[in-house]
Chains A and B, each alone.
Chain A
Amino acid sequence: MDKKHFTLISSSRPWWKIDLKEFLDYRDLFLVLTYKDIRVRYAQTFLGLAWVVVQPIVTLFIFTLIFGKAINVDTGGVPYPIFALAGMSAWNYFAFVMAQSGGSIIGAQDMVKKIYFPRLVLPLSKAIVGLVDFVVALVLLGVVMLYYQQPFSSNVGFVFVFFLFNFFCSLAMGVWLSALTIRFRDFQHVVPFMVQIGLYASPIAYPSSMVPEKWQLYYYLNPMAGIVEGMRWSLIGGVELSHYSYISFGITVLLFITGVLYFHRTERIIADIV
């Protein structure tokens, strides 16, 4: 007979010890849950995937009117819609994943109370679901660039790198919020607020160079500041990244590690307090 599966349920588990092997054992659940989320998201909506396109177009329209025409921000010669869309691609992914992951545990509480699985599967699957939005945003950007005859930047290979930062930053926020929401329901109300503030506190509708030099350091404490700038730079080029962006990347890594650890600690008491 092959080696027996062994499970130890113990009152004492080091808070830093994360069972990666077990996580891999549950990869099929992860895949099926992701599939479910994507299916359910578009089931019964008449326009289906079109909603993913409509929402950014409306935002883009408003941005173009206010920042492009009225305020006339300096985009470095790039047509404003392209400038804004490039930033929005990173931001919309972030906003979606943060909200969805953040509510993923509360949303699945019936399941969480009835069966065991590594809870991290829930926020992580939402980060994959958000990929649909990201890809759609890129396609939309491509169409607009084609219209304006604007070529992609030569840095386009870096999209992947900045998307990884984008992914981990969004997931980190989602993981933090999902664990915090279990303990304090107040955080449910924090998410929409953060999305709203963050949209203007990140260089989406305007370039970060508009922020006065003495505030730059604090500005880049927002991890999405560096990520949005990075994503835009790799898509359409422009001025080199500010050296302050490293602050954003550092914060992303920090948020992710602490988030997973905090989640891991809270995981054990989820069923008791949900």
Chain B
Amino acid sequence: MNRAIEVEAISKKYELGRQKSGSLGETLRHTFKRDKIKDDTEFWALKDISFQVNEGEAVGIIGRNGAGKSTLLKILSRITYPTSGNIKLFGRVSSLLEVGTGFHPELSGRENIYLNGTILGMRRSEVKAKFEEIVEFSGVSKFIDTPIKHYSSGMKVRLAFAVAAHLEPEILIIDEVLAVGDFDFQKKCLGKMQQVAGEGRTVLFVSHNMEAVQKLTSSCVYLVEGRLNCMSDTKSVIGRYLQRSESGLNSTYYNRVGSSDIYMKEIKVARGFAGVEHSWGNELTVEFDIVINRETKGACLSFQIVNAENVNVGYYWLYASDYDFGAREGEIKIKCVIPEAKLFEGKYWITTWLSDRSGLRLIENLDRICSFDFHINNIVHDEYPWAPSDATYLDKANWVFEGSSPITIKMPRLRQ
């Protein structure tokens, strides 16, 4: 079988603070004091990664946040370069780190299709040949000559994806942030990608959505802290990933090297016992320390509480229409206080989403971070032992005996 991708001993080093663009004065100061700031600012995002992908294979790249997935993705798509090592790609490559790159609001849908298509590496003649198909796929044919600033955000996503879906590279590198837009459309997109994989194209798919990885890929590369943990068939790698991420509790997430316009520097699940052991009906707080590198009007923040079965049991949000927190640069601390958390016994994580509603961008998605336990020992329920399948959440309820002298019993009863 032919090789499509050969990754040979790739490493990537970031020098925190120094490499960021700054003012001239800062750089001059650093140049003179070079030795002082050398050691603690070095950070290896990837260390010695090697693997091969054969032609026609669909391979997933998985790992927890900060494991180096996106750095590897950026190197494979030539956005950034490795500090050492080589990668050989045999065939025409398209990489999709977002849809709608380069879209300009003043231009019409038609013009944006050409713009986005050529940015993605298509020839103008190719775009022209597929133009009708793209327009049809997007479902916005009526507005194709209207400037896209008049489009709804849904229409823009459709148009953007329609272009991306019509790329015909031999190697396709896709990022999970493509999971924007409504659910039906996501399914359509996943279907289209599956079709691509089925046609004998090589696909690299970076994600922490295990369901999508399972559907799309046959084998997976698993990264842990910038190193290759294993590469094997998807099922066993996912098993390993889940196993590893479920040992030990850590209610804090910390990231000091965010690169996006807005990123989470720190997230902490607080209250309870040391933030990790919580009791039913008590206050639960989730504290966010958000760094806004560039003002982003229309920033939306939401998070889900996810249980061990990977079911989202709670959803909390603060959208720009409620409070435009991203409108000013700087670092902000926001606390979401849930006065009475009524989760059932079990282990939970949170999944956070930072997006830019007006720009249609998913800025940051942190999946299953901040693990914590919920207990219901404080509830009187001695007759039957609790079973994990009993519920996903427990609510308060009043039991009322009707009649001439009604009695109300408030449930559940709490232990003193």
Contact with A along B97-120 (1 / 0, CB 8 A): 110011010110001001100111
CB-based A-B contact count at 8 angstroms = 124
Please tell me if the beta carbons of A184 and B82 are within 8 angstroms of each other in the complex.
Answer: no
C-alpha spacing A136/B198, complex, angstroms:
54
Q: Which residue of B lies closest to A110 (CB)?
A: B101
Please tell me if the beta carbons of B86 and A183 are within 8 angstroms of each other in the complex.
Answer: no
Please tell me if the beta carbons of A39 and B76 are within 8 angstroms of each other in the complex.
Answer: no
Contact of A31 among B82, B89, B106, B124 (CB under 8 A): B124
Q: State whether the Cβ of A73 lies closer than 8 Å to any Cβ in chain B.
A: no
**Chain A residues in 8 Å Cβ range of B19:** 269, 272-273
Contact with B along A106-119 (1 / 0, CB 8 A): 00101111111100
Secondary structure at chain A's binding surface: helix, strand, loop or mixed? mixed
Q: Which residue of B lies closest to A7 (CB)?
A: B89
**Chain B residues in 8 Å Cβ range of A6:** 88-90
Please tell me if the beta carbons of A39 and B107 are within 8 angstroms of each other in the complex.
Answer: yes
A-B residue pairs, 5 tightest by C-beta: A116-B78, A9-B87, A7-B89, A43-B106, A29-B118
Please tell me if the beta carbons of B80 and A272 are within 8 angstroms of each other in the complex.
Answer: yes
Please tell me if the beta carbons of B79 and A114 are within 8 angstroms of each other in the complex.
Answer: yes
C-alpha spacing A167/B82, complex, angstroms:
35
**Chain B residues in 8 Å Cβ range of A9:** 75-76, 78, 81-82, 86-89
Please tell me if the beta carbons of A5 and B106 are within 8 angstroms of each other in the complex.
Answer: no
Q: Which residue of B lies closest to A267 (CB)?
A: B81
Contact of B27 among A10, A39, A111, A184 (CB under 8 A): A184
Q: State whether the Cβ of A197 lies closer than 8 Å to any Cβ in chain B.
A: no
Q: A36-B111, A116-B78, A184-B23 are in contact. Are A8 and B118 (CB under 8 A)?
A: no
- Within A253-274, the residues touching B (CB, 8 Å) are 268-269, 271-274
| A–B complex contacts, Cβ < 8 Å, 22 sampled | A4-B90, A8-B87, A9-B86, A10-B86, A29-B118, A31-B118, A39-B106, A111-B102, A111-B119, A112-B79, A114-B97, A114-B98, A115-B77, A115-B79, A115-B97, A117-B119, A182-B21, A184-B21, A185-B21, A269-B81, A271-B80, A273-B19
Q: State whether the Cβ of B92 lies closer than 8 Å to any Cβ in chain A.
A: yes
- Within A146-191, the residues touching B (CB, 8 Å) are 182-186
Q: State whether the Cβ of A196 lies closer than 8 Å to any Cβ in chain B.
A: no
C-alpha spacing A251/B28, complex, angstroms:
27
Q: What is A's interface to B at a CB cutoff of 8 Å?
A: 4-11, 13, 28-29, 31-33, 35-36, 39-40, 43-44, 108, 110-117, 182-186, 268-269, 271-274
Closest-CB distance, B146 to chain A (whole angstroms): 13
**Chain A residues in 8 Å Cβ range of B95:** 115-116
**Chain B residues in 8 Å Cβ range of A273:** 19-21
Please tell me if the beta carbons of A39 and B21 are within 8 angstroms of each other in the complex.
Answer: no
Q: State whether the Cβ of B91 lies closer than 8 Å to any Cβ in chain A.
A: yes
Contact of B74 among A39, A108, A271 (CB under 8 A): A271
C-alpha spacing A46/B118, complex, angstroms:
30
**Chain B residues in 8 Å Cβ range of A113:** 79
Contact of A186 among B24, B76, B101 (CB under 8 A): B24
C-alpha spacing A35/B82, complex, angstroms:
34
Please tell me if the beta carbons of B81 and A11 are within 8 angstroms of each other in the complex.
Answer: yes
Q: Which residue of A lies closest to B75 (CB)?
A: A9
Q: Name the residue among B14, B21, B79, B107 with the largest chain A CB count within 10 angstroms.
A: B21
C-alpha spacing A213/B101, complex, angstroms:
54
C-alpha spacing A31/B86, complex, angstroms:
32
**Chain B residues in 8 Å Cβ range of A271:** 74, 79-80
**Chain B residues in 8 Å Cβ range of A115:** 77, 79, 95, 97, 101-102, 119-120
**Chain A residues in 8 Å Cβ range of B92:** 5
- Within B115-135, the residues touching A (CB, 8 Å) are 115, 118-124
Contact of B21 among A108, A116, A117, A183 (CB under 8 A): A183
C-alpha spacing A101/B21, complex, angstroms:
19
Please tell me if the beta carbons of B22 and A184 are within 8 angstroms of each other in the complex.
Answer: yes
Q: Which residue of A lies closest to B123 (CB)?
A: A28
C-alpha spacing A29/B82, complex, angstroms:
26
Q: Name the residue among B81, B86, B124 with the largest chain A CB count within 10 angstroms.
A: B81
**Chain A residues in 8 Å Cβ range of B376:** none
**Chain A residues in 8 Å Cβ range of B82:** 9-11
Q: State whether the Cβ of B245 lies closer than 8 Å to any Cβ in chain A.
A: no
13 additional contacts, CB 8 Å, given A9-B86, A11-B85? A4-B91, A5-B92, A6-B88, A8-B88, A8-B89, A28-B118, A32-B119, A33-B118, A40-B104, A111-B101, A116-B95, A184-B21, A272-B14
Please tell me if the beta carbons of B124 and A274 are within 8 angstroms of each other in the complex.
Answer: no
Q: Which residue of B lies closest to A108 (CB)?
A: B102
Q: Which residue of B lies closest to A187 (CB)?
A: B24
Please tell me if the beta carbons of B107 and A8 are within 8 angstroms of each other in the complex.
Answer: no
Q: Which residue of B lies closest to A117 (CB)?
A: B119
Closest-CB distance, A119 to chain B (whole angstroms): 11
Closest-CB distance, A209 to chain B (whole angstroms): 37
C-alpha spacing A13/B82, complex, angstroms:
11
**Chain A residues in 8 Å Cβ range of B88:** 6-9
**Chain B residues in 8 Å Cβ range of A110:** 101
**Chain A residues in 8 Å Cβ range of B378:** none
Contact of A44 among B23, B79, B93, B106 (CB under 8 A): B106
Please tell me if the beta carbons of B86 and A5 are within 8 angstroms of each other in the complex.
Answer: no
Q: State whether the Cβ of B83 lies closer than 8 Å to any Cβ in chain A.
A: yes
Q: State whether the Cβ of B84 lies closer than 8 Å to any Cβ in chain A.
A: yes
Q: State whether the Cβ of B170 lies closer than 8 Å to any Cβ in chain A.
A: yes
Q: Which residue of A lies closest to B77 (CB)?
A: A116
Please tell me if the beta carbons of A32 and B118 are within 8 angstroms of each other in the complex.
Answer: yes
Q: A7-B93, A31-B124, A271-B80 are in contact. Are A40 and B21 (CB under 8 A)?
A: no
Q: Which residue of B lies closest to A30 (CB)?
A: B118
Q: Which residue of B lies closest to A43 (CB)?
A: B106
**Chain A residues in 8 Å Cβ range of B81:** 9, 11, 13, 268-269
Q: Which residue of A lies closest to B361 (CB)?
A: A110
Closest-CB distance, B106 to chain A (whole angstroms): 4
Q: Which residue of B lies closest to A273 (CB)?
A: B21
Q: A116-B77, A184-B24 are in contact. Are A11 and B83 (CB under 8 A)?
A: yes
- Within B1-31, the residues touching A (CB, 8 Å) are 14, 19-24, 27
C-alpha spacing A112/B259, complex, angstroms:
14
Q: Which residue of A lies closest to B99 (CB)?
A: A114
Please tell me if the beta carbons of B124 and A28 are within 8 angstroms of each other in the complex.
Answer: yes
**Chain B residues in 8 Å Cβ range of A35:** 111
